[in-house]
Amino acid sequence: MALPLRHTKPPLPGAAAGSSARGPGSGHRPPQGGGRRRLDPWRVVEGAASFLLAGVLLVWALPRVAGADWSAIRDVLGVLHPLQVAALTVVWLVGLWVQTIALAAAMPGLSHRRAFFLNLTGSAVSNVLPLGGAAGTALNYSTSRSWGFSTRAFLRWALVTNIWDTLGKLVIPGVALLWLAIDSMESPKSMVRAAVAALVLLAVLVALVWFVVHHELGAKLVGRAMDAVAPHLRRRHPPGPGYTARVLEFRRDTAALVAKVWPRLTVGKAGYAACQALLLWLCLTWLGGDVAPSVAFAAFAAERVLSLAVITPGATGVVEIGMVGMLVSFGTDPATATAAVLLYRAFIIGMEIPTGGVLTFWWLLRHRDRRTHASRGKP
For residue 320, give its domain range. Answer: 42-354
Specify the number of domains making up the chain.
Answer: 1
Asked whether residue 67 is assigned to any structural domain, the reply reads yes
CB neighbourhood size of 173 (10 A): 24
Asked whether residue 339 is assigned to any structural domain, the reply reads yes
Q: What percentage of the chain has pLDDT greater than the value 90?
A: 39
| Higher-confidence position of 186 and 377 | 377
Asked whether residue 13 is assigned to any structural domain, the reply reads no
Asked whether residue 127 is assigned to any structural domain, the reply reads yes
Asked whether residue 26 is assigned to any structural domain, the reply reads no
Return d(Cα 226, Cα 28) in angstroms, integer: 29
The per-residue pLDDT for range 18-55, each reduced to its tens digit, is 333 343 334 444 444 444 556 567 767 777 888 888 88
Asked whether residue 238 is assigned to any structural domain, the reply reads yes
SS3 content of the chain, % helix, strand, coil (to 5): 75, 0, 25
From 327, 333, 267, select the one nearest 76 (Cα to Cα): 333
Asked whether residue 21 is assigned to any structural domain, the reply reads no
The per-residue pLDDT for range 148-164, each reduced to its tens digit, is 999 999 999 998 998 88
Poorest-confidence range of 63-67, 332-336, 369-373?
369-373
Distances from the Cα of 352 to the Cα of 116, 197, 349, angstroms: 12, 34, 5
Asked whether residue 132 is assigned to any structural domain, the reply reads yes
The per-residue pLDDT for range 56-69, each reduced to its tens digit, is 999 999 999 899 99
Whether the Cβ atoms of residue 133 and residue 314 lie closer than 8 Å to each other: no
**pLDDT of 10 strictly over 60:** no
